[in-house]
Amino acid sequence: MKFHVMTLFPDMISAGLHTSILGRAMDAGIIELKTHDIRDYSKDKHRHVDDYPYGGGAGMVMSAEPIAACYADICEKRMRRDRPRVIYVTPWGKPFHQEMAKEMAEMDDLIFLCGHYEGVDERVLESIVTDYVSIGDYVLSGGELPAMVMIDAISRMVPGVLTNEESGMTESFENNLLEYPQYTRPEEWNERKVPEVLLSGNHKKIAEWRAERSVDRTMKYRPELMEGAVLDKKTAKYYREHYVNEK
Ligand code: SAM
Q: Which atom of ligand 1 is nearest to the CA of 62?
A: 14
**Cβ contact 208:234 at 8 Å:** yes
What mean pLDDT do residues 156-181 have?
Answer: 88
**Is the pLDDT reported for residue 9 higher than 80?**
yes
At 139, phi and psi to the nearest 5?
A: -110, 120
Element (H, E) at 189: strand 188-189
Residue 225 exposure: Cα atoms within 13 Å on the Cβ side: 21
pLDDT in tens, 102-112: 999 999 999 99
Ligand 1 in reach of 89 Cβ (< 6 A): yes
Distance 31 CA to ligand 1 centre (A): 26
The mean pLDDT of the chain is 96
pTM tops 0.85: yes
92, 140, 145: residue to mutate for ligand 1 pocket, most atoms within 8 A of CB: 140
Distance 87 CA to ligand 1 centre (A): 13
Element (H, E) at 236: helix 233-243
Closest residue by Cα to atom 22, ligand 1, is 91
**Is the pLDDT reported for residue 165 higher than 80?**
no
Residue 235 exposure: Cα atoms within 13 Å on the Cβ side: 20
pLDDT in tens, 216-236: 999 999 999 999 999 999 999
CA dist 134 and 61 (Å) reads: 19
**Cβ contact 150:92 at 8 Å:** no
Distance 89 CA to ligand 1 centre (A): 7
What mean pLDDT do residues 33-58 have?
Answer: 97
- Of the pLDDT bands very low, low, confident and very high (cuts 50, 70, 90), residue 166 is confident
Closest residue by Cα to atom 9, ligand 1, is 141
pLDDT in tens, 74-91: 999 998 999 999 999 999
Alpha helix segments (H runs only) across 8-131: 10-17, 20-27, 64-78, 98-104, 122-128
Q: Which atom of ligand 1 is nearest to the CA of 114?
A: 16
**Cβ contact 231:174 at 8 Å:** no
Q: How far is CA 223 from CA 7, 50, 114, 228, 242, in A?
A: 37, 44, 33, 10, 13
139, 141, 148, 151: residue to mutate for ligand 1 pocket, most atoms within 8 A of CB: 139
How far is C-alpha 53 from the geometric centre of its chain's CA atoms?
31
